Amino acid sequence: MALPSKSKSLSDWYQAVVINAELADYAPVKGMMVIRPNGYALWEEIQATLNPFMRDAGVANAYFPLLIPKSFLDREAKHVAGFAPELAVVTIAGGEKLAEPLVVRPTSETIMYAMFAKWIESWRDLPLKLNQWNNVVRWEKRTYLFLRTTEFLWQEGHTAHETHDEALAEQKRALSMYLTLYREYLALAGIAGIKSKSETFAGATTTFTYELVMPDGKILQAATSHDLGQRFGEAFGIRFQTRDGNEGVPWQTSWGLSTRAIGALVLGHGDDRGLILPSRIAPCEVIVIPIFTNDDSRDSMILREALKLTRSFPARWNARLDDRREVSPGAKFYEWELKGVPLRIEYGARELAAAVVTMVRRDNQSKTQVAMSQLSEVMQATLENIQQELFLQSERLLASHTHEIATFKEFTEIMEGPRGFIRAFWCEEEACERAIKEATHATVRCLPFEALPESGKCVYCGTNARYRWYFGQSY
Amino acid sequence: MALPSKSKSLSDWYQAVVINAELADYAPVKGMMVIRPNGYALWEEIQATLNPFMRDAGVANAYFPLLIPKSFLDREAKHVAGFAPELAVVTIAGGEKLAEPLVVRPTSETIMYAMFAKWIESWRDLPLKLNQWNNVVRWEKRTYLFLRTTEFLWQEGHTAHETHDEALAEQKRALSMYLTLYREYLALAGIAGIKSKSETFAGATTTFTYELVMPDGKILQAATSHDLGQRFGEAFGIRFQTRDGNEGVPWQTSWGLSTRAIGALVLGHGDDRGLILPSRIAPCEVIVIPIFTNDDSRDSMILREALKLTRSFPARWNARLDDRREVSPGAKFYEWELKGVPLRIEYGARELAAAVVTMVRRDNQSKTQVAMSQLSEVMQATLENIQQELFLQSERLLASHTHEIATFKEFTEIMEGPRGFIRAFWCEEEACERAIKEATHATVRCLPFEALPESGKCVYCGTNARYRWYFGQSY
């Protein structure tokens, strides 16, 4: 069954790829998804990438309860206001109505900081830096596999510090860790910056974000990192004895990245044949396919050599041999292209005779004969080249989908046409932000970190504006 | 603060060790716990041990939804009867009362097999072997950190097969994987066998189990593996086209191991100084402690050499250097003994001068001077020896806490006294099982796999009995 064309209907293509490549499936509960082995393996790759970064930064993994008393959320007014409409609530447990309803965590600030208040006594207990890999539930009306689901998997990092400067440094470190993951592993170029006030995390002082533009011109918020100031510390009574013997309230951060990253990866790289996985994140980097000839003795030699070949590859490639007899080579090519394996090695009678292999790149379909003697070097270089090329393509997409504009007429036209990022002056007033959203469905995505102050006029109201912000229609 | 004596009050000692070694803490929600970094690191070690075993057996990791429609559980009558009293139920979500209440998964047979019915069409789709690492909720009245909590972490494996023989082989494989984890990594000796009918998993045909006796004579069910027969397949309409073109219902298994394993590890090995971790499961196998002298130039040399030493150790040991200046060596010894690190290396002026280190074993406190030239070999051998010794100790505990008895009077006396395992003939009638439980609080733990048929008399009713079963009071 052919996939829908990616360029004609990204959304149909995406759903077909996610289902057919067996990344995920719809669960029989509204809004929920099942992450199948091919999708979960990508999540495990992401975990294996982020865990060492966190460990090196002194962040330890831990686990906090799924269920949170509703009253905990109420303690931080903005926080509860942000999450109340999305909560799933347990009211019955062990056959009895609960005296206080328990909320299925939508995020864990409140339950974690109730514990921080117990554990933190002195500056010696700081910084406290914890992370958890867990599931959260936020009730969503519409479902979009990986991108918007009622339950999703994520990691949430939570830290407490003696000083605001230290907390700010941690907020930056977390975002830069996400940038490394996205740029160097997922090969997705985007814009890193700070959120507008209205788009800041519920309860935070500032939110840093990484924003990606997808091929259909819609914007995906890829990861965020928050400076929580002292607001949660105050709300949860976290106090510590300072170095000079006074009482202080710690400065906190939180930051998270979810299974949505898998959605970004799929949207960002695939083509009409299916997924294209960057080498560094592909659970299997090389698929070896023996080309049988219907000559039993030659076929057993082909199979033996193909197996030897597969086993000779470095373990980090996780090379696999597809030795199924009942499936034709063509069907195998189709399947592994759909699943996005970066490199295919074909090995048949011709290759056996000439001491070569046929190597096919998933990204550009180029086919090369490689001599056995040079194989491992050539493959390593090709895998690295695939990684680089995918990132360059992503950078080109970002550039071609970013529109510098001066008038609101242009703004409207672009949002009705190609969409993508709009870079424009904004006065930073919420009234303008709301009006723009109403007219165009575009929200303020971020102010890039590298933006320099200029003197301009707000694209909507024409009053003085200092910065060019990024706008777009988000998923 | 000294710990309670382990031999005098295992329960007080256990709670103090779990809290003071910062493995876990009580959460502000009744019955729930927080797993702190030292505890979570043990869970990650367990995951890193089991994952390769599962991968080699063709079991793939995946993720299924947290929330399950109540009606799914109802489809398998015994299953719902077993779990109904323990369910936590979401009745409100997104601000609205749900038309059908959703149950927080107590286990995932029902939601997974609803998907199996969708994915399995032909014998070519079998075997289907999936595992998930997740959280489950079973409402518990009493809390015991790690051993009995309302929410716990576990892995649950679920497989579907063409034939009953294949399913039975998988049920065996899963249990033997758990035996390897417990015996060779956690160094805990126990009894592997089959459950009585009344103790079989709700909905299963048979349950295999590994049962451990703890130092206070109570029994801990360490892991289980179930033959589900075709019962769930029937209930969820899973059908496949057989090789001969007919329609079949797959044979299924499920098997699980939870964070309770951490409780077993703590109870099984510690002493009055705290935890004792077997080398192969210890997140940090070696702690290096520089002994400072208050002579600055000498101290900086000691520190430099201690750091060099730490870095020279094989990465698998995860050796750490405790270079804190404000903490005395004595306080550090106390802390790392409490946390159970298998080997301590002390390095001070004496060691520097003599080109030796002082090595102290956590398990038996023996202290040795080791020449630098032999250090790595001696340490490796010692770490292996610690692993072996702990298992031998556990085997001795099992032997000394297993009582072969002939009369019910002896049975009662042992359950009022030292407790432990009782090995006795049983007629296999549920009435006797119930009567024994009422009289002694002991349940049938299992029939060991290696038990041979004999001719004897039931310890309770005196009728003919073929096998000696294991009884005990469980956690």
Q: Is the pLDDT of residue A445 over 90?
A: yes
Half-sphere exposure of B328 (CA within 13 A, CB side): 3
A156 φ/ψ angles, rounded to the nearest 5 degrees: -125, 120
Instruction: List chain A residues with CB under 8 Å of B335.
Output: none
Tell me whether strands A286-290 and A343-347 are parallel, antiparallel or unpaired: parallel
Cβ of B114 under 8 Å from any chain A Cβ?
yes
Check residue B77 and give its pLDDT: 83
Q: How far is A102 from chain B (nearest CA, A)?
A: 9
Check residue A473 and give its pLDDT: 98
Instruction: List chain A residues with CB under 8 Å of B94.
Output: 85-88, 139-141
The predicted model gives A165-186 an average pLDDT of 98
b/e for B339-349, b at 16 or more Cβ within 10 A? bbbbbbbbbbe
Q: A111–B28: do the CB atoms touch at under 8 Å?
A: yes
Instruction: List chain A residues with CB under 8 Å of B134.
Output: 135
| Distance from C-alpha of A378 to C-alpha of A384, rounded to nearest angstrom | 10
Q: Is the pLDDT of residue B362 over 90?
A: yes
Q: B25–A62: do the CB atoms touch at under 8 Å?
A: no
Instruction: List chain B residues with CB under 8 Å of A60.
Output: 37, 40-41
Q: Is the pLDDT of residue B403 over 80?
A: yes
> By the 8 A CB rule, do B116 and B160 touch?
yes
Where is B312: in which H helix or E strand?
helix B296-312
| Distance from C-alpha of B69 to C-alpha of B104, rounded to nearest angstrom | 9
Q: What is the pLDDT of residues B139-189, one digit of tens each?
A: 988 889 999 999 999 999 999 999 999 999 999 999 999 999 999 999 999
Interface mutation target, options A61, A89, A153, chain B, most CBs of B under 10 Å = A89
Place of tokens 């330890």: A60
b/e for B186-198, b at 16 or more Cβ within 10 A? bbbbbbbbbbbee
- Fill in the amino acid letter for A74: D
| Distance from C-alpha of A272 to C-alpha of B352, rounded to nearest angstrom | 66
Q: A91–B95: do the CB atoms touch at under 8 Å?
A: no
The predicted model gives A173-187 an average pLDDT of 98
* Minimal Cβ distance to B40: which of A37, A62, A69: A62
Q: How far is A154 from chain B (nearest CA, A)?
A: 12
| Distance from C-alpha of B232 to C-alpha of A5, rounded to nearest angstrom | 40
Nearest-Cα residue of chain A relative to residue B23: A62
The CA-CA-CA angle for residues B18, B23, B26, to 5°, reads 70
Q: Is the pLDDT of residue A136 over 90?
A: yes
CA distances (Å), origin B277, targets B9, B74, B237, B357: 20, 43, 46, 22
**Which one, of B39, B149, B16, B27, lies nearest residue A113 by Cα?**
B27
Interface mutation target, options B25, B29, B112, B141, chain A, most CBs of A under 10 Å = B29
Cβ of A32 under 8 Å from any chain B Cβ?
yes
Cβ of B453 under 8 Å from any chain A Cβ?
no
Helix intervals (H) in B373-465: 375-400, 408-416, 430-440
Is domain B286-382 in CATH 3.40.50.800, yes or no? yes
Q: How far is A211 from chain B (nearest CA, A)?
A: 27
Instruction: List chain A residues with CB under 8 Å of B64.
Output: 27, 34-35
Instruction: Classify residue B259 by its DSSP letter.
Output: T
Number of CB atoms found within 10 A of residue A252's CB:
31
Instruction: List chain B residues with CB under 8 Å of A139.
Output: 93-95
Check residue B142 and give its pLDDT: 84
Confidence of residue A1 (pLDDT cuts 50, 70, 90): low
| Distance from C-alpha of B389 to C-alpha of B362, rounded to nearest angstrom | 12
Nearest-Cα residue of chain B relative to residue A92: B89
The C-alpha torsion from A90 through A95 and A96 to A98, rounded to 10°, is: -20
Q: B68–A114: do the CB atoms touch at under 8 Å?
A: no
Q: A87–B65: do the CB atoms touch at under 8 Å?
A: no
Check residue B1 and give its pLDDT: 63
Cβ of A34 under 8 Å from any chain B Cβ?
yes
What tokens appear for A56 in the block?
């090196």
Cβ of B23 under 8 Å from any chain A Cβ?
no
> By the 8 A CB rule, do B305 and B318 touch?
no
Rg from Cα positions in chain A: 25
Cβ of A118 under 8 Å from any chain B Cβ?
yes
**Which one, of A475, A403, A414, A464, lies nearest residue A439 by Cα?**
A414
Q: What is the pLDDT of residues A310-353, one digit of tens each?
A: 999 999 999 999 999 989 999 999 999 999 999 999 999 999 99
Instruction: List chain A residues with CB under 8 Å of B114.
Output: 28
| DSSP E strands, B2-123 | 24-26, 33-35, 60-61, 67-69, 88-93, 96-104
Q: Is the pLDDT of residue B81 over 90?
A: no
Instruction: List chain A residues with CB under 8 Å of B65.
Output: 27, 29, 32-34, 151
Residues 289-348 of A with CB under 8 A from B: none
Whether residue A127 is preceded by a cis peptide bond, meaning omega within 30 degrees of 0, is yes
**Which one, of B151, B81, B71, B33, lies nearest residue A93 by Cα?**
B151
Where is B220: in which H helix or E strand?
strand B219-229
Where is A391: in which H helix or E strand?
helix A375-400
Rg from Cα positions in chain B: 25
Composition of chain B by helix, strand, coil, percent to 5: 40, 30, 30
| DSSP E strands, B77-127 | 88-93, 96-104
What tokens appear for B366 in the block?
């023996």
Q: A62–B69: do the CB atoms touch at under 8 Å?
A: no
Check residue B76 and give its pLDDT: 84
Report the complex ipTM: 0.96
Q: In what order do the strands lie in the sheet with A67-69?
A: A67-69, A96-104, A88-93, B88-93, B96-104, B67-69
Residues 45-64 of A with CB under 8 A from B: 60-64
Q: Which fold has domain B402-472?
A: Translation Initiation Factor IF3 (3.30.110)
Q: B32–A65: do the CB atoms touch at under 8 Å?
A: yes
Interface mutation target, options A44, A66, A70, A80, chain B, most CBs of B under 10 Å = A66
Check residue A82 and give its pLDDT: 87
Instruction: Classify residue B205 by its DSSP letter.
Output: S
How high does pLDDT run on average in chain A?
A: 96
Check residue B141 and give its pLDDT: 80
Check residue A397 and give its pLDDT: 98
- Fill in the amino acid letter for B274: G
Cβ of B135 under 8 Å from any chain A Cβ?
yes
Nearest-Cα residue of chain A relative to residue B94: A86
Q: Which fold has domain A286-385?
A: Rossmann fold (3.40.50)
Q: What is the pLDDT of residues B6-64, one digit of tens each?
A: 999 999 999 999 999 999 999 988 889 999 999 999 999 999 999 999 999 999 999 99
Cβ of A355 under 8 Å from any chain B Cβ?
no
Check residue A142 and give its pLDDT: 84
The CA-CA-CA angle for residues B154, B160, B163, to 5°, reads 135
* Chain-centroid distance, C-alpha A404: 26
Check residue A338 and give its pLDDT: 98
Q: How far is B273 from chain A (nearest CA, A)?
A: 22
Pick the CATH number of B10-269 from 3.40.1160.10, 3.20.20.70, 3.30.930.10, 3.40.190.10: 3.30.930.10
Check residue A381 and give its pLDDT: 98
The C-alpha torsion from A172 through A176 and A177 to A179, rounded to 10°, is: 150
Burial (CB < 10 A; 0-12, 13-18, 19+), residue A215, is middle
Instruction: List chain B residues with CB under 8 Å of A35.
Output: 62-64
Half-sphere exposure of B178 (CA within 13 A, CB side): 29
Check residue B260 and give its pLDDT: 97
Confidence of residue B280 (pLDDT cuts 50, 70, 90): very high
| DSSP E strands, A170-229 | 191-194, 206-213, 219-229
Instruction: List chain B residues with CB under 8 Å of A143.
Output: none
